[in-house]
Amino acid sequence: MPRRFTGGKLVVASHNAGKVREIRDLLAPFNAEVVSAGELGLPEPEETGLTFIANAELKALSASLGANVIALADDSGLAVDGLNGAPGIYSARWAGPTKDFNLAMKKIENALGQNPDRNAQFICALSLAWPDGHCDTFEGKVAGKLTFPPRGSEGFGYDPIFIPEGFDITFGEMDPAKKHEMSHRANAFRQLVAACFS
Ligand code: IMP
C-alpha cells in the first residue's frame, strides 16, 4: 500500500541541479518544501544495484535515513534490445568520466554493428522513501527505435539517437515540452503522483 505525502520537507536525492529543479517544479502543487541532497551535504551513495528500481531505492533510502526526512530519488537509462538491455543502469557510465555522450552513442552504434534489431526503451524508476525504511517505487518506460548518426540538439544524453514509437523524429529533434509530456520520467511521475501525492 503506497504511503501518502501530506506536505513538509522533501529531499531530492540528487546532486544534479537540473534534476532537482525539474522535480521542484513538478512537485510545486503538492505543498512540498524541496531541498536537494547537495544542499544538505549528504554523501552520494555508490550505485551498486543491478536494476533501475534497486538503484532508485538505494539512493532514496540513503538520503532519507541520512537526513531523517522523506526523500525522492530517480534512476534512469537506455536499454537496447539488440544489446541485451545494455547500457541500461550503466547508461551514464558508458559516457566515461568526461560525460561524452557522442562517444557513448558511437559505442552503441559499434556494439550493434549489423544487428537489424534497433528497438530500445528509455526507463526511469522513481522511489519515495521514509526514515523508517518504507519506500514506494514506480517505473516508467517509453519504447522506440535507434537511428544513426545522432540527430538534433535538444535534450541530453542519448536523445539524438532515440525515435519514440509513433514519431519519425528523435527526442533530440523534439520540442522539449513534447518530450516531457511523453517521456519515461513523465510516465513514472504520473504513477508516483497518483499513488502518493493526490
Ligand atoms: P542517472 O542520472 O544515474 O539516472 O543516469 C541516467 C543516464 O541515462 C543519463 O546520464 C543519460 O545518459 C541516460 N538518460 C536517462 N534519461 C534520459 C533521457 O531522457 N534522455 C537521454 N538520456 C537519458
- 76 pocket-lining for ligand 1 (C-beta < 6 Å): yes
Q: In the predicted model, what is the mean pLDDT of residues 129-146?
A: 98
| Contact in structure between 160 and 171 (CB atoms under 8 Å) | yes
| Contact in structure between 63 and 11 (CB atoms under 8 Å) | yes
Longest dimension (CA), the chain: 53
Cα distance between residue 119 and residue 174, in whole Å: 19
Q: Whose CA is nearest to atom 22 of ligand 1?
A: 157
Cα distance between residue 92 and residue 114, in whole Å: 24
Catalytic residues: 75
pLDDT of the residue at 25: 81
Please tell me the class of the 8-196 domain: alpha beta
- 170 pocket-lining for ligand 1 (C-beta < 6 Å): no
Q: Are strands 32-36 and 70-80 parallel, antiparallel or unpaired?
A: unpaired
Residue 104 exposed, middle or buried by CB count within 10 Å (0-12, 13-18, 19+): buried
pTM of the predicted model as reported, rounded to 2 decimal places: 0.94
DSSP per position, the chain: -PPPP-SEEEEE----HHHHHHHHHHTGGGTEEEEETTTTTPPPPP---SSHHHHHHHHHHHHHHHHTSEEEEEEEEEEEGGGTT-BGGGTTGGGTTTT-HHHHHHHHHHHHTT----EEEEEEEEEEE-TTS-EEEEEEEEEEEE-SS---SSSSTTGGGEEETT-SS-GGGS-HHHHHHHSHHHHHHHHHIIIII-
> Is the pLDDT score of 15 beyond 90?
no
**CA 190 – ligand 1 centroid, Å:** 18
pLDDT tens digit string along 44-56?
A: 899 999 999 999 9
> Is the pLDDT score of 69 beyond 90?
yes
Q: Whose CA is nearest to atom 5 of ligand 1?
A: 92
pLDDT tens digit string along 16-39?
A: 887 788 788 888 888 899 999 988
Q: In the predicted model, what is the mean pLDDT of residues 140-167?
A: 97
Q: Whose CA is nearest to atom 14 of ligand 1?
A: 77
> Is the pLDDT score of 147 beyond 80?
yes
Cα distance between residue 50 and residue 66, in whole Å: 22
> Is the pLDDT score of 177 beyond 80?
yes
Q: How far apart are the first and last CA of the chain?
A: 14
pLDDT tens digit string along 71-128?
A: 999 999 999 999 999 999 999 999 999 999 999 999 999 999 999 999 999 999 999 9
pLDDT of the residue at 89: 97
Domain positions in the chain are 8-196
